């Protein structure tokens, strides 16, 4: 993630934010979250680089199985923690798209105004 942030920043590509994939595993027996790969890595990166944290997607074999069959978990099991995590992340991503689009539009409008002004000599 850090290399990607560096590359996109260098190329002046807007970064929407950070989504942590395989963030945790939800035990089917006790429904507790288990952070198999550690906890909070994506949040630390988002804070360090001042990039929005957009969500955590759990590790879930149902996501892969459903995707392979063309049946996303958000459709087959809409109230599952995984589906809720996807919806939350999607809403945050959509919000960031709107924010960045508005900023880019504003930047383009100011460029057009400054380039269309004729110098008076």
Query: Which domains are present in the chain?
Result: 2-113 (3.40.50.300)
pLDDT reading at 121 higher than 70: no
Q: If pLDDT is split at 50, 70 and 90, which confidence band does 1 have?
A: confident
Instruction: Compute how many other C-beta atoms are within 10 angstroms of the C-beta atom of residue 98.
Output: 10
Q: Both ends of the chain: CA-CA distance in Å?
A: 50
Average pLDDT over residues 12-16: 92
Average pLDDT over residues 74-93: 94
pLDDT per residue as tens digits for the range 23-73? 999 988 888 999 999 999 999 999 999 999 999 999 988 888 888 899 999
Instruction: Compute how many other C-beta atoms are within 10 angstroms of the C-beta atom of residue 42.
Output: 20
pLDDT reading at 116 higher than 80: no
In this prediction, residue 118 carries a pLDDT of: 55
Q: Provide the 3-class DSSP secondary structure of residue 34.
A: strand
Give the rounded percent of residues in the chain with a pLDDT score beyond 70.
Answer: 93
pTM, entire model: 0.79
Q: Are 26 and 81 in contact (CB under 8 A)?
A: yes
Average pLDDT over residues 64-83: 90
Distance CA 69, CA 20 (A): 24
The angle at the Cα of 70, spanning 72 to 16, to the nearest 5 degrees, equals 50
């Amino acid at each position: 993630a850090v290399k990607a942030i560096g590359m996109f920043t260098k190329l002046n590509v807007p970064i929407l934010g950070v989504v942590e994939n395989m963030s945790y595993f939800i035990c089917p027996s006790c429904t507790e979250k288990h952070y198999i790969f550690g906890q909070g890595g994506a949040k630390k990166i988002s804070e360090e680089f001042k990039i929005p944290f957009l969500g955590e997607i759990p590790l879930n074999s149902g996501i892969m199985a459903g995707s392979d069959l063309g049946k996303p978990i958000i459709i087959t099991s809409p109230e599952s923690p995984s589906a809720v995590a996807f919806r939350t992340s999607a809403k945050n991503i959509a919000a960031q798209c709107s924010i960045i689009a508005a900023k880019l539009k504003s930047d383009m409008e100011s460029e057009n105004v400054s380039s269309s002004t004729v110098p008076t000599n």
